[in-house]
Copies of this chain bind each other. A is one copy, B any other.
Amino acid sequence: MRQDFLNSLKSFYSKYRRLPSYSEMLKLFGFASKKAVFDVIQRLTEEGFLNKNNRKLSPTSSFFAIPLYGVVKAGYPILTEENKQYLTLDEYLIEDPVSSFLLKVSGDSLFDIGIFDGDIVIIERKKEAKPGDIVLAEIDNEWTLKILRRDRKRQVLYLEAANDKYPPFYPKRELKIYGVVKASVRKFERMN
């Protein structure tokens, strides 16, 4: 019952990217009085799916989110309702949406750290990076995705691939950091 109301709200939201007004909910829920809508919304608010601040309705994170289960190493995944967390991937992966962008990875230079050709990485634009960070950098006029390292003897920064096939890249002229890789995602289309 009340699950139905939440689901109609969800499908309205995924269609229009906003919550319906009470009048719109009248039709959506099949009520004749706004009071009935009011009561439903009250419940959903108390249950933590919606939020009200000075008469304005907004969805909470539970509204969007997808359950996240843990797994025990060998045995049963924890599939009970109690220890269920919720997560939206955008929020989880992208901490600063304004300064972030995505990049489709090409090549196998990060193979050993599990970033493959065709993966998408989330990059946060910033000039400063620490050794150990995976960076999008411009080295001698060529753009690349590598691990930033510090050569302690020579006291310089250089780039290292995560793949034995490639040698370290020491900048001849200059090394410009454009951003830092914060996350990576892969979609499994259809494999054989």
Query: A residues engaging B (CB < 8 A)?
Result: 7, 10-11, 14, 16-19, 21, 51, 53, 56-61, 63-64, 66-77, 87-90, 92-94, 97-98, 100-107, 114-116, 119-120, 122, 130-134, 136, 142-145, 181-188, 190-192
Contact = CB atoms under 8 A, between A and B. Distances in A.
Given A66-B97, A101-B66, A101-B69, A187 B114 contact: no
Contacts of A67: 101-102
Nearest to A147: B191
Contacts of A53: 16
Contacts of A69: 101-104
Contacts of A143: 71-72, 75-77
Contacts of A105: 71
A67 B97 CA distance: 10
The binding surface of chain A is classed by DSSP as: mixed
Contacts of A120: 68, 87, 92
Nearest to A133: B191
Contact of A98 (B7, B71, B116, B136): B7
A73 B10 contact: no
27 contacts: A17-B51, A18-B19, A21-B56, A66-B101, A66-B102, A68-B102, A68-B104, A69-B103, A70-B103, A72-B106, A73-B106, A73-B107, A74-B107, A74-B142, A74-B144, A75-B142, A87-B120, A89-B122, A92-B120, A92-B187, A93-B185, A114-B119, A114-B186, A133-B188, A134-B191, A182-B188, A185-B186
